[in-house]
Amino acid sequence: MRDDRLRDADADAPPPVVWHGRATNRIQWLLALVGLACVALGIELAVDSAWTSGIAALVMAVVGCIAAGLLVVFGTLAFVHVDLKLDRECLEVRCGHIGLPRRRIPLDLIAGAEVAPHVTPRHWGGWGYRWLPEKGTAVVVRRGEGVVLRLWDGHTFTITVDNAEAAVRMIRDRLRPTSPGTLS
């Protein structure tokens, strides 16, 4: 009963000026640990190596392990989560702890928005910032609900985000004409 009252009170409240959404994938942390293990292996080889096959092979093994490990670490940590920020002028998508890659889409470039109930990495070719010619662009950090933006140029942009319904509702509210006969 108490939840119904809270939900009704939220429905009557004016929409926030800035709306924030987020999606997180904790599995990416496991992949980052694998990358750290590769870096540790490279350091271990460099410090305590008993290789008798030559210095060139040792250097290639050390550099290879460290480079592969760092690529995995930074590649996975960039897509541990995605943040969506919607204000009165634009929608901004930021990935990972650094906020890169980032994309700002002005609201006047958005033709419409809808909820995608089942966005999966398999449909987009994996986690991360993806582009498929037949589907458009997406930021996929986990499977589940997402927001699909239809842009005026015919492209689509999909973002996995928790509470996609609220995001779509806010986007649609912001896309409404401000006065009769004008387009926003």
Summarize pLDDT for 17-63 with one digit per residue, the tens: 888 999 988 888 888 899 999 999 999 988 887 777 788 888 898 99
* pLDDT of amino acid 184: 43
Q: Which region among 61-75, 91-105, 125-139, 167-181 has the lowest average model confidence (pLDDT)? A: 167-181
pTM of the model as a whole: 0.73
Mean pLDDT, all residues of the chain: 85
- 161 is written with which tokens? 């985000």
* pLDDT of amino acid 7: 47
Angstrom distance (rounded) from CA 183 to CA 24: 35
DSSP type of residue 153: T
* pLDDT of amino acid 12: 60
Q: How many residues does the chain have?
A: 184
The predicted model gives 97-105 an average pLDDT of: 87
Shortest CA distance to 79 belongs to which of 117, 1, 145, 27?
Answer: 27
The answer to whether residues 95 and 23 touch, using CB atoms and an 8 Å cutoff, is no
How does strand 156-160 pair with strand 136-140? parallel
DSSP secondary structure of 92-114: EEEETTTT-SEEEEEGGGEEEEE
- Judge whether residue 72 has pLDDT over 60: yes
- Judge whether residue 14 has pLDDT over 90: no
> Taking the CB of residue 102, how many other CB atoms lie within 10 A of it?
12
Q: Which helix (H) or strand (E) holds 148?
A: strand 144-151
**Partners of 20 in the β-ladder:** 85
Angstrom distance (rounded) from CA 124 to CA 161: 15
161: burial class by Cβ within 10 Å (0-12, 13-18, 19+)? buried
